[in-house]
Chain A
Amino acid sequence: MFLINCPYCGEREQSEFSCGGEAHISRPKNPPDTSDDQWADYLFMRKNIKGVQFERWNHSSGCRQWFNVVRNTSTDEILGIYNMGEAIPEIDGENPKTPSGEPEIGSGNISTSFKKK
């Protein structure tokens, strides 16, 4: 359980929001030329990242607006919030660690989109 700072309403409990999953997935531009594998990739395959994830949230029990959230999925810490349609922001900081104190090595904790200071 965590708090999300809705850009329109302010800080509210996570239970007021619905997660729309991974952000920045775009529909194939040319459907007739898209193979079954490419459709499967678009429809079903997900990064499901352990570490910094860019994802969509909707304030479904509030203002019902969509926005993007940068969240560390191994600690549920929110690192940033930005509007729909905006480019992926650059996030700087220490590599995220898991709550159980697992070593960074190999745990997938080092996200590709997370720059170490």
Chain B
Amino acid sequence: MHKKPKRYSIFSLIRNALSYHENWQPAWRSPEPKKEYDAIIIGGGGHGLTTAYYLAKNYGLTNIAVLEKGWIGGGNTGRNTTIIRSNYLWDQSAGLYEHALKLWEGMSQELNYNVMFSQRGVMNVAHTLHDVRELKRRWHANRLNDIDCEWLDTNKVKEFCPIINTSQNIRYPVLGATLQRRAGTARHDAVAWGYARGADAMGVDIIQNCEVTSINVKNGQVSGVETTKGQINSKKIGVVTAGHSSVIADMVGIRLPLESRPLQALVSEPVKPIINTVVMSNTIHAYVSQSDKGELVIGAGTDGYISYSQRGGFNIVEDTIAAVVELFPLFSRMKMLRHWGGIVDICPDASPIVSKTHIKGLYFNCGWGTGGFKATPGSGWVFAHTIANDEPHKLNAPFTLNRFSSGELVDEHGAAAVAH
């Protein structure tokens, strides 16, 4: 076992300040891979790291490796718009996302790492009569599932978020909104780093720059992986590779119902605090919040074709900006600073797959599509259960790969909040 990392506190901050911050220990080690592990997690993003963390914490499996092709949190974990909410329509999704939201609420304390979780509320805006009906239906469904949600009429929307344009003379006027007050945002990198540090402290090996090139299967049971750092053996392999899930699945001949597409986001120049909540609109396809640095964080839509290029079409960005400016005319002269794309794995029913496969010891956690960030801790929690017990947790039992044969789809296209 390695040396236990020191806790962060006001005293450690003062102590390190006195030594000019030159003696901080690294948040996690960079070990060479061992020959064999009890479990291997492919993919060192948020979901992969939480899986390793909960395998170690809840099931005592500490002889684990997380294999990451690039650097941890360098994929979609660092490319999303950091929105966290649980106001999903169906019971199955509500259970999964609400479990995640509860874990978010205690995360900084548990990890001894500030993930800057801010429950500033998420407002889903209605612009048409259909939106109003759909969102009210979701509001009632949420209340039945014990998830906080309230309906705001146009005046209350204006009261809650004063800068929004509630003129009834625009193409898509604001007719009301649902508000989940417990929802909000978090610092995405801190989530990856915090879980990496937490997992590492329990003995998990986080191996970066280690790409899996093939998966070894003997008699229908996985035996290990070939990587750019050599062969690593394990009887249990969890695949958490988001947009590249189909590429990994193809190594063992499994077909997945996924399409990988670019999803773009952009941030503006930093300004003083101006928008106090997260505003999402399905109909005109805009979502916007403000980071603690002061940048507006704006999410765009997916491109309508499969691509792994991590860049999308400019027309998508243009449409999103047009929508944001209609809702917030005062943003019209803001300059955009940065713009990027991530590759999201979209399922036909807009719900994830957290599942066993027909190969023994091989598990997949994918299909989170455009909304995986909010589920990060919950996804790891149920996936760790699935790997440790070889049986799904009751929360992810509806999200198996078999649902595409049985027809028990969990259609969340509406509650995915923005249509992609």
Query: Is B313 interfacial (CB 8 A cutoff)?
Result: yes
Q: What separation, in Å, do the CA atoms of A87 and B397 have in the docked complex?
A: 42
Report whether A74 and B309 are in contact in the complex, using a CB–CB cutoff of 8 Å. yes
B405 contacts A76, C-beta separation under 8 Å: no
Partner of A50 from the list B69, B228, B244, B255 (CB cut-off 8 Å) is B244
Q: Which of A21, A43, A55, A98 contacts B308 (CB 8 A)?
A: A98
**Which listed residue (A36, A45, A105, A108) contacts B257, Cβ 8 A?**
A45
Chain A residue numbers with a CB within 8 Å of B309 are: 73-76, 98-99
Q: Complex formed: what's the CA distance from A22 to B308 in Å?
A: 15
Nearest chain A CB to B400 CB, angstrom units: 12
State which size class the interface on A falls in. Answer: 35 or more
CA–CA, A36 to B405, complex, Å? 5
**Chain B, 321-369, CB within 8 A of any chain A CB:** 345, 348
Q: Which of B246, B257, B305 has the most CB of A within 10 A?
A: B305
**Cα of A37 to Cα of B406 in the assembled complex, Å:** 8
Residue of A nearest to B347 (CB): A44
* Interface residue B259 (Cβ < 8 Å from any Cβ of A): yes
Using a CB-CB cutoff of 8 Å, which residues 57-98 of chain B contact chain A?
69
- Asked if A26 lies at the interface with its beta carbon under 8 angstroms from chain B, I say no
Q: Which 9 residue pairs across A and B have the least CB separation, nearest first?
A: A106-B213, A108-B247, A44-B257, A19-B305, A48-B246, A45-B255, A1-B313, A15-B315, A40-B405
Contact A76 B304 (CB under 8 A): no
A49 and B304 contacting across the interface, CB-CB below 8 Å: no
| Contacts A14-B313, A36-B406, A41-B255; A106 near B212 (Cβ below 8 A) | yes
Known: A36-B406, A40-B405, A105-B213. A19 touches B304 (CB 8 A): yes
Contact with B along A14-58 (1 / 0, CB 8 A): 110011011000000000000011011101111111100101000
Q: Kindly identify which residue among B69, B244, B250, B314 contacts A1, using a CB–CB cutoff of 8 Å.
A: B314
Residue-wise, chain A 65-80 has the 8 Å CB interface mask toward B (1 for contact) of 0000000011110000
Beyond A22-B306, A48-B306, A106-B213, 14 additional pairs, beta carbon < 8 A: A45-B256, A46-B256, A48-B246, A48-B256, A49-B250, A50-B246, A73-B306, A73-B308, A73-B309, A98-B309, A99-B309, A99-B311, A105-B228, A106-B214
**In contact, A48 and B213 (Cβ under 8 angstroms):** no
Distance A43 CA – B416 CA, assembled complex (angstroms): 22
Bound-complex Cα distance A45 to B254 (A): 10
A74 to B212, CA, bound (A): 18
Are A108 and B310 in contact, with the CB atoms below 8 A? no
Is the CB of B189 closer than 8 A to any CB of chain A?
Answer: no
Bound complex: CA of A42 vs CA of B212, how far in Å? Answer: 29
Quick one: which of A39, A100, A106 has the most chain B CB within 10 A?
A106
Candidate in B69, B309, B311, B313 with the most chain A CB atoms within 10 angstroms: B309
Q: Do residues B214 and A48 form an inter-chain contact, with CB atoms below 8 A?
A: no
